[in-house]
Amino acid sequence: MKLKERKAIKEISSKDKEVVLAGWLHELRDLGKVKFLLLRDVSGIVQCVLKDKKLFKKFSELTTESVIAVKGVVKKAAVKSPEVTRKEIEIEVKELEMINKAEPLPITVTEKGIRIALPKRLDYRVIDLRKPRTMAIFKIQSQIIYAFREFFSSKGFIEIQTPCIIATASEGGTALFPVRYFEKKAFLAQSPQLYKQLAAISLEKVFCTVPVFRAEKHNTTRHLNESRQMDIEVAFADDFDVMKLLEECVKFIVKKVKERCKDELNILKISLKVPKAKYLSYEEAIKLLNKHGVDLKYGEDLTPEAEKKLCSLFPNSIVFVHSWPLSLKPFYIWPKNEKVSAGFDALYNGIEISSGGQRIHKADLLIERLKAFGLDPKNFKYYVDAFRYGAPFHSGWSIGLERLTMALLKLDNIREACMFPRDRERLIP
């Protein structure tokens, strides 16, 4: 059998007379005189029929998730199994080859009548990734990040690569992972923030997709200690300019996922609608929340309950909460006055997916704000000095890739949206 002739299951045409397929054994059914197997590859599942008794011995040696190759004739499906994605055809097998026999599985792939807890699924993620549902999540996530790149590339943005090893905190605080860096002290980056600013004040419009690392000792369904961010930074733009870009970008991503991931959305039973947008000041949001039974005072951060409530008040909308108190935003956010910042958050389907704002572009004010946060300006000298040589005002934001995936697909736990999650307890696989 020549595997170079192999076709993806999705590519089989009813006009094909004979095909070579290879993949994983999703399920086996022995009906005596006729044997059935469901063959799965990354593109779908097809039913294969064995009628030739010469193949029955090989069939008896098969185990689920074994990797096999088959050569067979394309026929009109006699019985339409609910699990197959190619319901209109089946393959009458003429040749069967075992490529790698699977040992007994620690978790099942089909999960018929069985619900395996997420921690165990993550322990055996290599098998869990074979489930059509899990596969669908990451196919969609691939399209999310592709659409993000597509959107900003089409608008003349330059993709940049920022360092993941840094000398000082990107956002202040102590939640940093230290690393050995020869004779120097270094950390894993909390954010590409400082470096994307340094790029934008020269290149004007930049974007990047980067891993970020936060050493907070939380253990929630919405936080990871390693995640991926989709970031932009734009010169000559204020906070409202980039909020509009975020609105347009998310709408574009949702539209493209709808167009390109119909099969995956069907597997997940998700009906996507392109969202609207609602803009509220922080003060308006607090008053609205208080009116609807969420007790928050001005100057307090939004709780998960508050985020869910705001999104429920404006269904299928990206809810922008802007003009936050200066005390609640990072040191680099531009102060509109002594109390209010040019910072914002974006909420979608009950969860914060992005934060951003206009940045400080004047060295003296930056030094003042660093001191206000208890940070030593000497540790940020390279950053502060960059704004002494002609820096335009600029703004930007970051979308958490896993957060957006979680919101879009209405997942209960962010770990579902991360292929190999890293949290306080999990370092393997």
User: What totals of helices (H) and strands (E) does the chain contain, helices first?
Assistant: 12, 16
Q: Which of 27, 65, 171, 352 is catalytic?
A: 352
Q: Which of 86, 214, 228, 361 is catalytic?
A: 214
Q: What is the structure's pLDDT at 147?
A: 98
Would you say residue 174 has pLDDT above 90? Answer: no
In CATH, the number for domain 128-417 is 3.30.930.10
Q: Exposed, middle or buried, 315 (CB in 10 Å: 0-12/13-18/19+)?
A: exposed
CB 288 within 8 A of CB 310: yes
**Distances from the Cα of 153 to the Cα of 150, 159, 160, 251, 420, angstroms:** 5, 8, 12, 16, 28
H helical segments located in 279-413: 282-291, 304-313, 363-372, 381-386, 401-409
Q: Where are the beta strands (DSSP E) in 197-306?
A: 205-213, 226-235, 276-281
Query: Does the annotation count 352 as an active-site position?
Result: yes
pLDDT, position 125:
97
Is 355 labeled as catalytic in the residue annotation? Answer: yes
Tens of pLDDT along 364-378?
999 999 999 999 999
Angle between helices 239-260 and 132-154 (to 10 degrees): 130
Is the pLDDT reported for residue 226 higher than 90? yes
307 assigned to active site = no
- Told to judge if 223 belongs to the known catalytic residues of this protein, a careful annotator would answer yes
pLDDT above 70 for 187: yes
* pLDDT attached to residue 117: 95
Q: Which of 222, 322, 359, 369 is catalytic?
A: 222
Average pLDDT of span 168-191: 85
Dist CA 22 CA 271 (whole Å): 32
| DSSP label at residue 298 | T
Q: Which of 110-124, 153-167, 232-246 has the lowest mean pLDDT?
A: 110-124
Residue of 121, 394, 403, 415 marked active site: 403
Percent of the chain with pLDDT over 70: 98
**Where residue 66 falls among pLDDT bands split at 50, 70, 90?**
very high
> Of residues 92, 97, 150, 216, which has the active-site annotation?
216
- Provide the pLDDT for residue 115: 86
Distance CA 414, CA 421 (A): 9
pLDDT in tens, 237-252: 999 999 999 999 999 9
Question: Which residue among 223, 260, 422, 426 is the active-site one?
Answer: 223
Q: Is the pLDDT of residue 52 over 80?
A: yes
Token pair belonging to 292: 């609807």
Our answer to whether residue 65 is catalytic in this structure is no
Instruction: Enumerate the domain spans of the chain.
Output: 3-100, 128-417
Question: Which residue among 191, 355, 395, 398 is the active-site one?
Answer: 355
List, in sequence order, every beta strand (DSSP E) within 111-204: 158-159, 165-166, 178-181, 184-188
Q: Which of 342, 380, 330 is nearest to 172 (CA)?
A: 330
Give catalytic status of residue 222 as yes or no: yes
Map tokens 């600029």 to a residue.
394
Annotation says 292 is catalytic? no
Fold for the domain defined by 3-100? OB fold (Dihydrolipoamide Acetyltransferase, E2P) (2.40.50)
Q: State mean pLDDT over 246-274.
A: 97
